[in-house]
Amino acid sequence: RKEVEQDPGPFNVPEGATVAFNCTYSNSASQSFFWYRQDCRKEPKLLMSVYSSGNEDGRFTAQLNRASQYISLLIRDSKLSDSATYLCVVRANTGGFKTIFGAGTRLFVKA
């Protein structure tokens, strides 16, 4: 089992739709969680950190469920510019620093 798993997609949604991605992790000692977006042939860019209480940034909402060991990203009112690959990142510091990237979920938003 991979340490961080994401549905690779692709998710094809129309503009204005709401779409949600989940990411599961296996290390119960994981401490920090992030969502990044990556455009084709570009570097990953931080979208948002994920806090225990959940957090929102405009159209984006991130949630953490420690009991079930997953994080989620909800995008409301999808825009064409949201088309990208979304990477979840899980970080732990047990027996050494460890940061694991998921392989990403591809999103296509269509007019």
Partner 1 sequence: NAGVTQTPKFQVLKTGQSMTLQCAQDMNHNSMYWYRQDPGMGLRLIYYSASEGTTDKGEVPNGYNVSRLNKREFSLRLESAAPSQTSVYFCASSLTLSDEQYFGPGTRLTVT
- Chain residues that interact with partner 1, rule: CB under 8 A: 4, 8, 31-32, 34, 42-46, 49, 87, 89, 91, 93, 96-97, 99, 101-104
Local structure of 53: helix, strand or coil: coil
Radius of gyration of the chain (CA): 14
- Do residues 106 and 10 lie in contact, with contact meaning Cβ atoms separated by under 8 Å? yes
Shortest Å distance, C-beta 16 to partner 1: 29
Query: Which CB, 20 or 103, lies closer to partner 1?
Result: 103
Shortest Å distance, C-beta 34 to partner 1: 6
Distance between CA atoms of residues 34 and 25, nearest Å: 12
